[in-house]
Amino acid sequence: MELDRNQHSVYLLNYHLVMVVKYRRKVINNEISEYLKHRFVVVGQSYGINLQEWNHDIDHVHVLFRATPHT
């Protein structure tokens, strides 16, 4: 396990985020999931977020990512 560091601290912050479609509608397929994953990575780069794992089902997405304490 590799720890992250900044000037004053050592940390390891992992987040598990579940994003659900409104009314649990069954709309997420592989194409939509890949688009959402790409957007998450692009936006996350400006906030210091590193995507670790991405999984989806037809009505929700599971995201595991690492971030800094100030995010």
CATH number, domain with residue 39: 3.30.70.1290
Task: Determine, yes or no, domain membership for 24.
Answer: yes
Q: 54: closest CA among 68, 71, 34?
A: 34
pTM: 0.86
CA dist 16 and 67 (Å) reads: 11
Task: Determine, yes or no, domain membership for 37.
Answer: yes
Task: Determine, yes or no, domain membership for 27.
Answer: yes
> Residue 39's domain spans which residues?
13-67
Structure tokens at 47: 């906030």
| Site of tokens 């590799």 | 2
Q: What is the pLDDT along the chain (71 residues), one digit of tens a residue?
A: 789 888 889 999 999 999 999 999 999 999 999 999 999 999 999 999 999 999 999 999 999 999 988 88
- Reduced to 3 states, what is the DSSP secondary structure of residue 65? strand
The Cβ of residue 52 has, within 10 Å, a number of other Cβ atoms equal to 12
- Reduced to 3 states, what is the DSSP secondary structure of residue 41? helix
